[in-house]
């Protein structure tokens, strides 16, 4: 386990809310430094390619991100180091399953993006996921922060 001095630590069994938000006991925790597709967000990827033409299909990338996090954390106790509180009163934290940094894992596997507006901590993991075409990097998508903004406009 990482060593945390003078940090608020929240530990326990987790309930996954979406791809970047969890709940432990009465604490709603937003995984800091990352942004995952929203639950009802769609992404697109190629499902059929013929010599000079490709066919794309839309899929629920937000649900997939959430499901991957649920599978990773199923019946596990996790530890979260709280770094701040956001405007929705959620605790912003880096969370760990044993020694695995969950925030980093989500970005490295293409289930979330580095939220560079707030932190540059996961930029390398994002570059690696993009290079390896993992998760949402297999196709096209709208950045979750842009998607939320565009949904509000409608």
Domain positions in the chain are: 9-153
pLDDT in tens, the chain (154 residues): 445 556 799 999 999 999 999 999 999 999 999 999 999 999 998 776 677 776 778 999 999 999 999 999 998 999 999 999 999 999 999 999 999 999 999 999 999 999 999 999 999 999 999 999 999 999 999 999 999 999 877 6
Output the six-digit token pair for 33: 């430094």
Enumerate the H helices of the chain as residue ranges. Answer: 61-73, 102-108, 123-131, 144-153
The pLDDT of residue 1:
46
The pLDDT of residue 4:
52
The pLDDT of residue 140:
94
64 CB-side CA count, 13 A:
15
The pLDDT of residue 91:
96
CATH of domain 9-153: 2.40.50.90
The pLDDT of residue 56:
78
Task: Tell me the whole-structure pTM to 2 decimals.
Answer: 0.90
What is the SS3 assignment for 80-122?
A: EEEEEECCCCCEEEEEEECCEEHHHHHHHCCCCEECCCCCCCC
Pairing of strands 139-140, 34-35: unpaired
CA 32 to chain centroid: 9
The pLDDT of residue 104:
98
Selection from 87, 38, 84 nearest residue 65 by Cα = 38
């Amino acid at each position: 386990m990482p060593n945390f001095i003078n940090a608020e630590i929240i530990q326990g069994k987790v309930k996954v809310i979406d791809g970047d938000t969890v709940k432990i006991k009465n604490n709603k925790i937003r995984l800091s430094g990352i942004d995952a597709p929203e639950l009802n967000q769609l992404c697109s990827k190629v499902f059929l390619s013929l010599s000079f033409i490709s066919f794309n299909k839309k899929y629920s990338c937000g649900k997939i991100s959430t499901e991957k996090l649920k599978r990773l954390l199923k019946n596990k106790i996790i530890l979260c180091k709280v770094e701040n509180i956001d405007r929705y009163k959620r605790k912003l934290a880096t969370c760990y399953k044993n020694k695995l940094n969950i925030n980093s894992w989500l970005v490295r596997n293409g289930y979330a993006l580095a939220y560079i507006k707030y932190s540059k901590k996961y930029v390398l993991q994002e570059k690696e996921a993009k290079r390896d075409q993992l998760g949402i990097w297999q196709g096209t998508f709208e950045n979750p922060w842009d998607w939320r903004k565009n949904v509000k406009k409608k």
